[in-house]
Structures are given as C-alpha cells and as structure tokens.
Structure 1
Amino acid sequence: MPNTSQPVHRTALVASAVALLGLLSACGSESSTSSAPQPTKAPRSTGPDTGTVTRTATAPAVTTAPSDTAGSASASARTDGRCHTSELRAAVGRVDPGAGQRNFPVVLTNTSDRTCTLYGYPGAAFVDASGSQLGPDPERAPSSPRTVTLTAGESAWAGLSFSSPQISGARTATPAALLVTPPDEHDPLKVKWTAGEVPVGGHESSVSVTALEPGTGP
C-alpha cells in the first residue's frame, strides 16, 4: 500500500503557513488603520450654564451727526437767566391819584439783545441830591409774584404808593431821585424824581411797592 502521509503532512504545513501569514497581514492592516491621525474638530463655545452655542454678532456701524454744542450753549446764554441791572432801564410813570393815595408805576425795560426774566419785588428808595436816603425802605404790598419774561424792548412794572402828605399830615421831603433795584440784583438804577414831596416820617408815612407784572402800568 503506497505511503501518503508525508505529502498530506506537507500540504497541511503549507496551508497552516498560508493561514498564519494571512492572519499577520490582517493584524498589521488593522493596527495601521487604528493609529492613523483623526481630523480635529473645531471647539464650540457655549454660553454660561446653557450649553447653547454662542455666536458673536458684528454690530452695524452707526454714524452720528456732530452736535452743535457751542451753538446750543450760546443760544441758552442769550435766552436764559434773570435780567441784570446793566440790561435794564428804569422810569417812573405818571401819577395815578385815588382815595387820598398817590400811585406811580415804576417801569423796568429790557435794553439788552437777549430775553431775560424778572421775578418778585424791586427795591426802591428816595434819595436827596447828595445820595442820602430819605425815609424808610418801602414795604412790600401783599401780592402774588410771578416770573415775567422780557424779550428785547419789553417792560415790567411795579406800583409805588403812599398816602398824600396833604391828607396824612406826615413829615415830607422832596427827593432828587428814586433808586430802583431789580429783583436779586445789588446795583440800583437812578431815576430823576419830578413828582414833588413824599412822606419820610411821622404818622401815615409808609410807602409800599407791589410785585412786578408785565407791561408799563395799569
């Protein structure tokens, strides 16, 4: 009987070697594939505690027209604030007699080129030729002061009143001038006094002045 064990054994060895070689090739290919560098993904920024994606938006450019600050300040300076003594002219209107009283409108006129305001009572004092005051300061008559706005050339007036000396029997003097001080100012305006004697002492010698209001008199 012929001996076939050796060829069969050799064939089996060859088959085993081929199988082992295939297994090694497969392992090498798998190792090469797993070690290849993977593409890196860009990191995602998330908002705090929300997990949501935060995208930065670019704000559109805004063009702002230049403001005329200097022009606004200049306009404000021309139209705001109280009237100063240097911007006013004082005058005394005609006497308005009545019930034993002598009443005079004391008028303040805006001579400046801006609009300004007056509020309250003017100061008033009779003085002689040397500038000395005659009699006490006038009392303020009960009234309701209000702001009077004067554009250039406009006027405001206050009433100056006292009892007729011929009736009251008060001691009198004839002033040379009336000093008129605008509200909240220190410098007076001098007006020549031509209306004769005024009470300066004794009974019934008080002089009163009212708050300013628009116009030149009643």
Structure 2
Amino acid sequence: MAYSSRSSQRAALLAGAVAIAGLLTACGSHDVHSTPQKVSGTAGPATETSEGSASSATSAASTPGDGKSSSAPEAATSSATGTGTKPGSSGSRCHTSELRASVGRDNPGAGQENFPVVLTNESARTCTLRGFPGAAFVNASGSQLGPDPRRESGSPATVTLKPGQSAWAGLTFSNPEVSGAHTGTPTALLITPPDERDPLKVMWTAGPVPVSGNSSSVFLTMFSPGTGA
C-alpha cells in the first residue's frame, strides 16, 4: 500500500510537471508569434528612414542643380551680354551692351582705304578700352567674307571713356582695283570690343572689300582716343 501511495504521488507529480511544461510551451509559442509583429512594427521607422534618404538624395541632387542653374547661366549671361561689372562701378572695361559702334568716313591714300572704327560709351559710367577690336565683314546671310583682319604692331594703351566719349581703331586695306585682289561686297561689319564676345553690327555702305588673292589682307590698329575724324 505504501508503494501504491508513492506511485500515486509520483503520478501526481508527473502530471503536474506535464501541465507546467504545457504552459511553458504555450508561452513559448506566443513569443515566436510576436516576433514577426515586432519586425512589422519596426517597418514603419525603416520606411521613414528610406523616405528620409530619398528626400536627402533629392535635396542633394537639386541643390547642385539649383546652384548650377543660378550661377553658371548667370556667368554665361554676364559674359554674353556684357553686364558682368556692377552698375555704377568705374574704371573697368567697357562691355558690348554699353557701347555704340560706327564706321567713319574713308580717308584714302596711296592706294589704301582707311576707315575709323568707332566705339562710343553710351552708359552712365566710366569704362575703358584696351587693345584691338574684333572685326568681320559679313554678307546678308551673316556669313563672313574673307579671313579675319590682321593686327598692326604696336603697344596697347588703355583708353578711358567717360559717358559719351569715343575711341577709334583704324581698319585699312588695299584698294582692290589697285591690288587686283578678289572682292566681295559685305552688307555689314561686325565689331567686337576687346575681351567681349558679342559684336555690334554696323551697316557697310563703302562698297567692295578684298576677300582673297594677293594683297587681300585687312588690317586693324589698336584703339586711340577720339573718333579718328
């Protein structure tokens, strides 16, 4: 009987152990089920981080783009329109947009045709010209006639132009009837101030100019004060 009692106690203990194990197993399975919920719960912050990264990348991409669009075109526009110098400043070079171009009367001599190319300061500030102008004869379609003019030798001097003042450079070529050079008749002369890109257009009414063959070169001198008249 004592043995049976002990057996009964052991059976009861075993049953209790099984019950406890069942409870522990149930708790364990609940934790496993909660793990995906926890991962799912962190998906929100992960998505926010991704959105933040995308936003930062967009910001980084647009910032250089904005910087490029605000500075590079401004520099380009400044260079193209001749407005790089702040209004009201003085002593800096004259820009194309501040000048008016004209061609003076021919002063022929010894088979040469000599024209003063004149630039007049039409701005409200003092500016300077130094060196040679750019020049090109063009036809009605805008195509250049003949090669680029050649430059006479000499030492450049800075010409200071107050508002309304002018500077001139000599444009010289041999008379085609004397030199025998092949000619073309331009409709305009493009004149570009020193260190500028945009030219000024002056209608050409002085007839044919040499464009090829012997003695076809056109020469330019450096700017001097005045109109060359």
Please report the TM-score for the alignment, with normalisation by the length of structure 2: 0.62
> In the alignment, what sits opposite 1:4?
none
Structure 1 distance, partners of 2:134, 2:87, is 28
> Could you give the per-residue CA deviations for residues 177-210 of structure 1, whole angstroms, max 9, x where no partner exists?
0000000000000000000000000111000000
> In the alignment, what sits opposite 1:161?
172
Q: Which of 198, 203, 226 matches 1:215?
A: 226
Q: Which of 90, 99, 112 matches 2:101?
A: 90
Q: Retained in 1: the 8 A contact 2:139–2:187?
A: yes
**What displacement does 1:105 show?**
0.2
Q: Retained in 1: the 8 A contact 2:100–2:200?
A: yes
**What displacement does 1:142 show?**
1.1
Structure 2 distance, partners of 1:154, 1:107, is 10
Spell out structure 1 runs of 4+ moving beyond 3 A: 74-77
Structure 2 distance, partners of 1:76, 1:164, is 44
Structure 2 distance, partners of 1:160, 1:75, is 32
**What displacement does 1:77 show?**
4.2
> In the alignment, what sits opposite 1:181?
192
> Could you give the per-residue CA deviations for residues 145-184 of structure 1, whole angstroms, max 9, x where no partner exists?
1000000000000000000000000000100000000000
When residues 127 and 75 of structure 1 are mapped into structure 2, their CA distance, relative to the original with a 3 A threshold, is closer
Structure 2 distance, partners of 1:214, 1:125, is 22
Q: Which of 122, 127, 137 matches 1:111?
A: 122
Please say which structure displays the higher CA radius of gyration. Answer: 1
Aligned length: 145
Which SS does the other structure have where 2:160 is aligned? strand
**What displacement does 1:127 show?**
0.1
> In the alignment, what sits opposite 2:74?
none
> In the alignment, what sits opposite 2:90?
79
Greater helix share, structure number: 2
When residues 134 and 78 of structure 1 are mapped into structure 2, their CA distance, relative to the original with a 3 A threshold, is same
**What displacement does 1:80 show?**
2.8
Percentage identity across aligned positions?
69
**Matches of residues 30-109 of structure 1 in structure 2 within 5 Å?**
77-109=88-120
When residues 75 and 125 of structure 1 are mapped into structure 2, their CA distance, relative to the original with a 3 A threshold, is closer
Which SS does the other structure have where 1:78 is aligned? coil
Amino acid at match of 1:119: R
Which SS does the other structure have where 2:89 is aligned? helix
Please report the TM-score for the alignment, with normalisation by the length of structure 1: 0.65
Ranges in structure 1 where 5+ consecutive residues have no aligned partner: 1-73
Ranges in structure 2 where 5+ consecutive residues have no aligned partner: 1-84
Task: Supply the RMSD in Å over aligned alpha carbons.
Answer: 1.6
Structure 1 distance, partners of 2:99, 2:111, is 32
Structure 1 distance, partners of 2:221, 2:86, is 32
Amino acid at match of 1:112: S
